[in-house]
């Protein structure tokens, strides 16, 4: 897009008019970018970006008092390019300490084309493990849900709106509790249910760290990369895709059955129903929370801090910060972010 021979030119006055949620433009390095569809997905929150609507953000993106942006931010910005500042309004900027403009440091895309169905690209790929893991953890952004499969039916199975999770799982929770009281008293069921809810945070942490981020231990080869991509890689590749922020029921049901099989070894009838119901409630709350962490806003300091914590996992250091609804287990197991990750 940035290589068009005929590029639209805009005056700074024209850009300044696009300073609201309905139309949000910015200037960066004498180039104009339309962030109208992006501001709600901005990792730092929409409010921060709205402060700079219609303005030149070249120095702001380098300002440590605002937030020094990594090269990945410039990669994302590049996708929203719409033209150039007209000649009479162009200014000369000082180069950063590296001596090279940040936009010139953005490498040409050699991984997946986000504008085409992703699955067959992965299936036919010949990436090395090192290259795959590096690229899949570099976030990209689309103003719409990505296409995973060319087949419409398969594609539908990969897309899950946030509201479908409680609709799917809460009847199952009620059924488990109803069946459970056929074996155990209500008091025992209550204890098992509470135990399941409280156990979820550890299960959440463990699955995120040891299953979803099996990263360095996946074997070389395309099949391993495809499996990793399907399970969790696509979420790091497109972290703001609204239809892939909660787990598709086909995948979550498969994982739930594996956990249920393990629980059946430990718990008797009745108790297994209660614990499973509690874990599922924990899961539903987690999935809804996870969606909010990517797309929600709040004035509550604790919630805002939790959002910042999780987005740091996506945009700064994917090898730390595995807790999503809480950072408690990261503190217990020493997987908190370190200062050098900033």
pLDDT on residue 55: 93
Residue 213 labeled ligand binder: yes
- Residue 138 corresponds to which tokens in the numbers above? 């570099």
For residue 28, which of 78, 68, 65 has the smallest C-alpha distance?
A: 78
Reported pTM: 0.81
| Residue 142 burial class via C-beta count within 10 angstroms: exposed 0-12, middle 13-18, buried 19 and up | middle
- Would you say 310 is a known binding-site residue? yes
In the sheet that holds 9-10, the strands lie side by side as 9-10, 81-85, 31-34, 23-28, 19-20
Is 39 marked as binding a ligand? no
Among 138, 204, 38, 87, CA closest to 48: 38
Residue 111 DSSP code: S
Q: State the Cα–Cα distance between residues 52 and 16, nearest whole angstrom.
A: 10
Is 18 among the annotated ligand-binding positions? no
Full pLDDT tens readout for the chain, 342 residues: 444 445 799 999 999 999 887 899 999 999 999 998 887 777 767 778 888 999 999 988 887 665 657 777 888 888 889 999 999 999 999 888 878 888 888 777 789 999 999 999 999 999 999 999 999 998 888 878 999 999 999 999 899 999 999 999 999 999 999 999 999 999 999 999 999 999 999 999 999 999 999 999 999 999 999 999 999 999 999 998 999 999 999 889 999 999 999 999 999 999 999 999 999 999 999 999 999 999 887 788 898 889 989 989 998 899 999 999 999 999 999 999 986 544
208 is known to lie in a ligand binding site: yes
Which pLDDT score, from 0 to 100, does residue 96 have?
83
- How many CA atoms lie less than 13 Å away from 125 in the CB half-sphere? 24
Q: Is residue 273 annotated as involved in ligand binding?
A: no
314 is in an annotated binding site: yes
30: nearest Cα among 11, 4, 13: 11
Is 115 annotated among the ligand-binding residues? no
**Can you tell me the distance from the alpha carbon of 111 to that of 89, in angstroms, rounded to the nearest whole number?**
36
What number of other Cβ atoms are within 10 A of residue 293's Cβ? 20
Residue 287: its pLDDT value, please? 96
Burial level of 10, CB count in 10 A (0-12/13-18/19+)?
buried
Residue range(s) occupied by CATH 3.10.120.10 in the chain: 9-105
CB hemisphere CA count around 280 (13 angstroms): 26
H helices then E strands: how many in the chain? 14, 5
Nearest to 275 by CA among 206, 177, 195: 195
10 DSSP β-pair partners: 85
Domain 9-105 falls in which CATH fold?
Answer: Flavocytochrome B2; Chain A, domain 1 (3.10.120)
Other C-beta atoms lying within 10 Å of the C-beta of residue 80: 21
For residues 147 and 256, what is the distance between their CA atoms, to the nearest angstrom?
A: 26
- Give Cα 267 distance to the centre of its chain: 35
Per the annotation, does 42 bind a ligand? yes
Residues for the chain: how many in total?
A: 342
Determine if residue 294 is labeled as part of a ligand binding site: yes
Strands 9-10 vs 81-85: parallel, antiparallel or unpaired: parallel
SS3 for 188-215, per residue? HHHHHHHHHHHHHHHHHHHHHHHHHCCH
Containing H/E element for 179? helix 164-180
- The answer on whether 228 is annotated among ligand-binding residues is no
């Amino acid at each position: 897009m940035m290589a068009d021979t005929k590029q639209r030119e805009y005056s700074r006055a024209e850009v300044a008019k696009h300073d609201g949620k309905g139309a949000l433009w910015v200037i960066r390095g004498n180039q104009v970018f339309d962030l109208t569809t992006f501001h709600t997905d901005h990792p730092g929150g929409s409010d921060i970006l709205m402060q700079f609507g219609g303005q030149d953000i070249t120095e702001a993106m380098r300002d440590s008092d605002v937030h020094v942006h990594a090269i990945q931010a410039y990669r994302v910005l590049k996708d929203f390019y719409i033209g150039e500042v007209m000649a009479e309004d162009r200014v000369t900027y000082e180069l950063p300490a590296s001596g090279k403009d940040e936009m010139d440091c953005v490498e040409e895309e050699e991984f997946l084309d986000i504008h085409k169905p992703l699955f067959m690209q992965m299936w036919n790929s010949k990436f090395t493990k090192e290259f795959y893991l590096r690229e899949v953890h570099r976030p990209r952004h689309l103003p719409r849900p990505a296409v995973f499969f060319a087949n419409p039916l398969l594609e539908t199975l990969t897309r899950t709106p946030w509201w479908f999770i409680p609709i799917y799982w809460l009847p199952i929770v009620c059924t488990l509790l109803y069946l459970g009281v056929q074996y155990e008293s209500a008091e025992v069921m209550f204890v098992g249910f509470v135990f399941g809810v409280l156990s979820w945070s550890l299960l959440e942490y463990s699955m995120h760290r040891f299953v979803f981020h099996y990263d360095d231990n996946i074997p070389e080869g395309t099949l391993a990369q495809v499996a990793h991509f399907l399970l969790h890689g696509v979420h790091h590749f497109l972290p703001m895709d609204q239809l892939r922020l909660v787990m598709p029921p086909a995948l979550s049901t498969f994982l739930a059955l594996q956990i249920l099989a393990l629980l059946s070894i430990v718990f008797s009838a009745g108790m297994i129903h209660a614990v499973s119901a509690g874990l599922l409630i924990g899961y539903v709350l987690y999935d809804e929370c996870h969606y909010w962490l990517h797309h929600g806003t709040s004035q509550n300091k604790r919630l805002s801090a939790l959002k910042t914590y999780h987005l740091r996992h996506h945009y700064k250091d994917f090898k730390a910060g595995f807790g999503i609804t809480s950072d408690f287990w990261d503190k217990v197991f020493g997987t908190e972010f370190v200062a050098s990750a900033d």
